[in-house]
Amino acid sequence: MSHTVNCVKLGCEAEGLPMPPYPGELGQRIFENVSKEAWQQWLQHQTMLINEYRLTPIEPKDRQFLEKEMEKYFFGDGSHIPDEFVAPQ
């Protein structure tokens, strides 16, 4: 059953995620405060980070970096786009 959240990213009430998308306390905070739409936006941003920084998500240091960026994206000052990033046309 879906639930509604007051999305911290979009600044409005929206449909929430069906379950925590990440383990632990951060996943629970995301479940309670982030909408499906904002989560999809994060997945696109995360993909860009993985590609631009040539991250390997199975590497612990890369996973740790992505987790910190995820927390900043939703609950901090935002995850910034790398200076070298050129958006596809």
Task: Give the list of residues 6+ apart from residue 56 with CB closer than 8 angstroms, or none.
Answer: 62
Burial of residue 84 (number of CB atoms within 10 Å: 0-12, 13-18, 19+)? exposed
Q: What is the pLDDT along the chain (89 residues), one digit of tens a residue?
A: 578 999 999 999 999 999 999 999 999 999 999 999 999 999 999 999 999 999 999 999 999 999 999 999 999 988 877 777 677 77
Instruction: Give pLDDT, residue 80.
Output: 76
Is residue 54 assigned to a domain?
A: yes
As for how many domains the chain has, the answer is 1
Q: What is the CATH number of the domain that holds 28?
A: 1.10.3880.10
Please give the torsion angle defined by the CA atoms of residues 14, 40, 28 and 57, in that order, rounded to the nearest 10 degrees. -170
Residues 6 or more apart from 54 whose CB is under 8 A from it?
A: none
Residue 55 lies in a domain: yes
